[in-house]
């Protein structure tokens, strides 16, 4: 059973100067600490990035200087179902080398 409290993900980041054009690179190589009900990707770099949630297909674009926040539960359909991004999910990004960092943060509900 989930607890009534939430835990933050340990923030992960990637220096955009390590980006290789056209190549997907893991933003959080170890995967998510828990099944997240909210994630935030902050692109504090000088280049736009593409985001993939499966490491194969492109799913989102985040312009330089922008923030993408996804509240999975808020975007759920009716019926009292729970919408979470699965534990251990790796989020992938690609773009060209620039200046600044790309950050991943979020929250999940611990089950212990």
CATH of the domain at 76: 2.60.120
Residue 74 included in any domain: yes
Residue 5 included in any domain: no
Residue 23 included in any domain: yes
Task: Report the alpha-carbon distance of residue 100 to residue 11 in Å, rounded.
Answer: 15
Beta bridge partners of 52: 92
Residue 2 included in any domain: no
Mean pLDDT by runs of 10 across the 112 residues of the chain is: 80 96 96 95 98 97 97 70 90 97 94 64
CA angle 90, 58, 71 (to 5 degrees): 60
Q: What is the pLDDT of residue 82?
A: 78
Number of folded domains in the chain? 1
Residue 3 included in any domain: no
pTM for the predicted model, two decimal places: 0.89
């Amino acid at each position: 059973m989930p607890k009534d409290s939430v835990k933050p993900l340990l923030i992960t980041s990637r220096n955009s100067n390590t980006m290789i054009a056209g190549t997907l690179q893991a933003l959080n190589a170890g995967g998510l600490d828990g099944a997240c009900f909210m994630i935030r990707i902050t692109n504090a770099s000088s280049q736009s990035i593409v985001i993939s949630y499966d490491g194969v297909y492109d799913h989102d674009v985040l312009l330089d200087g922008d923030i993408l926040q996804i509240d999975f539960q808020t975007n759920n359909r009716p019926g009292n179902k729970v919408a979470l991004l699965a534990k251990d999910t790796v989020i992938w990004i690609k773009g060209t080398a620039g200046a600044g960092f790309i950050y991943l943060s979020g929250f999940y509900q611990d089950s212990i």
